Amino acid sequence: MEFKDYYKILGVDASADTQAIKIAYRRLARTYHPDVSDHHDAEDKFKEVTEAYNVLKDPEKRANYDELREHGQHGQQFKPPPQWQSSGKFTADDFDGSFSDFFESLFEVNSESVPRSGPQTQNHHMRGADIELKMPVFLEETISETAKTISYSLPRFDLNGNPLENLEKTLKVSIPKGISDGEVVRLKQQGSPGVNGAPSGDLFIRIRLVPHPLFDLEGHHLVLTLPITPWEAVLGANIVVPTLTGTIRLTVPQNSQSGRRLRVKGKGLFGKLAKGDLYVVLNVVVPEITDVDEENRWKEMAEKSSFDPRMNLRTKYEN
């Protein structure tokens, strides 16, 4: 078991007063709270900071911990001295999170205390914990109802609230058509099993649409960036364009500029009320000159054409 230096975790001196400890905690909570932070290890950091604060804010527990601290160093292996006796008791009201091994070995954690992710009621009749999962879904899978298999593991607790080995579970679920990014679906009683006959928790699945190599999303509309040649842009063209379900032929009108959006009705994703559209955004791409003949063709056009895309700049800034 690693020794945890709670002072170091909060970034305060061992002589810091309660006020300084509170300020340090509040600032770190603001930085690492999993709901407001995008730090990759925000949740672990926040747990650590909260654990440190819960010990150091209480004079009795702090005195207890200070005594122990003389025997250990942060990050190093640690065993409490044999004559040492914990005087601090923790209950669910003190701390709403899961405790580290280090913490549990130092303080008597009331077995009725309820970790945030653990069982939710007391008196040994405990409803199982709700579980939240993210499920990646491909855009193609939202076009029709799709079956997907999910596997997950469920924390379990015995009658005294002690953790048991996780329960592995596999479920086949059918994703309704038209599901959108960030939506949550609930599978009742597919979460952690309850204790002593109490009902299981629920499973919540948050849908995450996987970015597509070709299509971008605007709500339930799809956007395809379509490269075209300068002559297709000028003369107009009939081009085969991919959609999510196959291909279509698209008419590019004469004199189309780069960035022009062409709407293909009903070829987007399913929305709550109507089907979205596919927007094709034209991107005029200029070829690289690879031989003299080609270069001469462009030179000929340059000599004969009167096209001037900088007309506006000239009238504004020259004379």
Residues that bind other proteins (CB under 8 A): 26, 29-30, 33, 35-36, 46, 50, 96, 120, 130, 132, 171-176, 179, 183-187, 202, 204-207, 211, 216-218, 223, 225, 227, 281, 283, 285
CB of 211 to other proteins, least distance (A): 7
CA angle 5, 28, 208 (to 5 degrees): 115
Q: Give 44-104 as a DSSP string.
A: HHHHHHHHHHHHHTSHHHHHHHHHHHTT--TTSB----TT-----EE-TTT--SPPPHHHH
Nearer to other proteins, 67 or 218 (CB): 218
Nearer to other proteins, 81 or 211 (CB): 211
Using a 10 angstrom Cβ sphere, with 0-12 exposed, 13-18 middle and 19 or more buried, the burial of residue 274 is: exposed
CB of 98 to other proteins, least distance (A): 14
CB of 217 to other proteins, least distance (A): 7
CB of 318 to other proteins, least distance (A): 30
Nearer to other proteins, 77 or 257 (CB): 257
The encoded tokens of residue 45 equal: 């950091």
89-90 vs 108-109, strand pairing mode: parallel
The whole-angstrom separation of Cα 183 and Cα 297 is 55
CB of 230 to other proteins, least distance (A): 13
The whole-angstrom separation of Cα 40 and Cα 98 is 19
